[in-house]
Amino acid sequence: MLYISEFNNNLLDWYQANRRDLPWRRTNDPYKIWLSEVMLQQTQVTTVIPYYNKFITKYPTLDDLAGAPEETLLKDWEGLGYYNRIRNFHAAVNEVKNSYNSKVPENPDDFFSLKGVGPYIGGAVLSIAFNNLAAAVDGNVLRVMSRLNMDYRDTTKQSVQKSIKRDIESKMPLEAGDFNQALMELGATICTPKTPKCIMCPVQAHCEAYINGNVSELPVKKKQKQKAEKYYNVYFIVNDKEEVLLQKQQGTLLKGMYELPKYDVDTSIETIEETLGLSLDHPNIHAGTEKHVFTHQIWYMEGYILYTKDDHEDFIPEKEVDKLPMSKAMRKLYHHFSA
C-alpha cells in the first residue's frame, strides 16, 4: 500500500505542476467535459481545441446542442472526422434532455446506457466530472501501464485492456479525475511512443521497463491488418444554371454528409447516366487527384468534370455548397474542381 501511495502522490504532484492548460480543464460542466472527450477520441489535442471552442461558443448548454439539426452539427464537425461521434453524441444528449431533465447522469449504469458511451468515454467523464472511481483507459494509458509493469501482453486485446483497467482501479485514489488525467498526460507528454523522456518521468522509480532497460519494447501491439484500398472516379457535374450535383450519403461511414457522385473506376459513363437519370457530355476533363486515409480503408480518387443540360433535384447552386457538410476527403476534391 505504501508503494501505491508513493506512486499516486508522485504522479499527482507532477500533474498539478506540469499539466497543460487545455480549455476543457477550465470547466466543471459535465456536458462540456463529455463533449471534449468525444472530440478527443482518435484525434490530436491540437486539432480538437478550435473545434471545442467553436462548439461551446455556439452550443454553450446541453439543450442548445440537443436542439440543433443534425446537418448543422455535421457541418460544424466537418474536418474532425469519425462523424458517428457527433451523431451518437447528438442522440445521447437528446436522451439526457428528455429522460434526465438535461442533467448528465452521475449514476454509471445510466451514463453507460447512453448512445456512444463506451468504457473510455464512461470512465473519463464519470471520473473527471463526478470523481467516480472509474479508470479511463486510452492508448496513452495502455502504453504507460504496460511499461510500468513490464507487461508484454498484446494491448490491442480487449481482455488485456479490461485487465489493465482493473489494475488501475485497484490503486485509484480519491482524486480519480486528476489521476486519470495524470496518466493520460504522462503518456501524451513524457511516456511517448518513441523517444520517451524517461529522465523527466515522475514515476521512473516505479517503472519496471525502465529499471530493466526494456522501455523501447513496449507496449506490444499485434500488427494491424492492411487497410483496404478503394479506387474511385469522382464527378463534378455542372448544369447550365451553374449548379453542381451533390448526393447525401446513406452509408455508415459518412452518413448524412454530402458528396460528389463517385463510382468504381471501371463504371462506364453510360451506367452513370442511367443511375443519375441524366444526359452527360462524354469528354471528361481531368480536374485533380486525391488520396484520403480512413481508419480501415484508403480512398484513391480521380476527379473529372462533366456537363449536362438536364436539371435534377440534387443540383445545388455552387455558392450554396460551402454551407453543406462534406467530408474532408470530398471537400479537398471539390476545391480542386471549383478552382
What are the tens digits of pLDDT across the range 6-35? Answer: 999 999 999 999 999 999 999 999 999 999
Strands (E), 194-330: 228-238, 243-245, 247-248, 258-259, 262-264, 285-293, 297-307, 315-317
For residues 247 and 185, membership in a common domain is answered with no
- From the centroid of its chain, how far is CA 198? 29
339 band by pLDDT with thresholds 50, 70 and 90: low
Say whether pLDDT at 3 is over 70. Answer: no
Of 33-42, 96-105, 109-118, 256-265, give the lowest mean pLDDT range. Answer: 256-265
Q: What is the pLDDT of residue 64?
A: 98
Q: Does residue 199 form part of some domain?
A: no
Catalytic residue among 37, 78, 259, 302: 37
Q: Is 71 a catalytic residue?
A: no
Residue 49 is which amino acid? I
pLDDT above 50 for 253: yes
Residue 289 sits in a domain of what CATH number?
3.90.79.10
263 belongs to a structural domain = yes
Domain identity same for 172 and 55 = yes
The reply to whether 176 and 277 lie within a common domain is no
Q: What's the mean per-residue pLDDT of the chain?
A: 92
What is the model's pLDDT at position 72? Answer: 96
Q: Which has more confidence, 224 or 139?
A: 139
Question: What does the alpha-carbon distance between residue 80 and residue 43 come to, in Å, rounded to a whole number?
Answer: 8
30 and 86 within one domain: yes
Which stretches of the chain are DSSP H helices? 2-18, 30-40, 45-58, 62-66, 70-77, 84-99, 108-112, 119-130, 139-148, 158-170, 176-189, 208-212, 269-276, 328-338
Q: Are residues 183 and 242 in the same domain?
A: no
Residues 45 and 183 placed together within one structural domain of the fold: yes
Has residue 45 been placed in a domain?
Answer: yes
Asked, for residue 148, whether it belongs to a domain, the answer is: no
Residue with cell 467523464: 125
- Whether 123 and 260 map to the same domain: the answer is no
User: Which is more confidently placed, 239 or 57?
Assistant: 57
194 pLDDT band, cuts 50/70/90, is very high
Question: Strand, coil or helix: what is 255?
Answer: coil
Instruction: Tell me the C-alpha distance between 99 and 92, whole Å.
Output: 10
Judgement on whether residues 232 and 182 belong to the same structural domain of the protein = no
CATH number of 90's domain: 1.10.340.30
Residue 238: CB atoms within 10 Å: 18
- With residue 81 as reference, give the H or E element that holds it: none
Mean pLDDT of 54-73: 97
Q: Is the pLDDT of residue 290 over 60?
A: yes
| pLDDT cut 70: percent of the chain above it | 97
> Which one has a higher pLDDT value, 311 or 158?
158
* 86 and 27, same domain (yes or no): yes
Whether 334 shows a pLDDT value over 50: the answer reads yes
In a domain, 215, yes or no: no
Q: What percent of the chain has pLDDT over 90?
A: 67
Rounded to an integer, the average pLDDT of 316-322 is 89
Q: Would you place residue 42 in the very low, low, confident or very high pLDDT band (cuts 50, 70, 90)?
A: confident
Q: Are 107 and 7 in contact (CB under 8 A)?
A: no
Domain count, the chain: 2
Residues 245 and 164 in one domain: no
Residue 224 pLDDT > 80: no
Confidence class for position 283, pLDDT limits 50, 70, 90: low
Q: Are residues 162 and 241 in the same domain?
A: no
In a domain, residue 217? The reply is no
User: Domain residues for 262?
Assistant: 228-338
Residue 327: predicted pLDDT: 85
Query: Is the same domain home to 107 and 53?
Result: yes
Residue 81 has pLDDT above 90, yes or no: no
Mean pLDDT for 282-307 is 82
Position 194 in a domain: no
Q: Does the pLDDT of residue 1 top 60, yes or no? A: no
- The answer to whether residue 132 is domain-embedded is yes
pLDDT at 2 exceeding the cut of 60:
no
At 333, is the pLDDT very low, low, confident or very high (cuts 50, 70, 90)?
A: confident
| 128 has a pLDDT exceeding 60 | yes
pLDDT for position 314 = 86
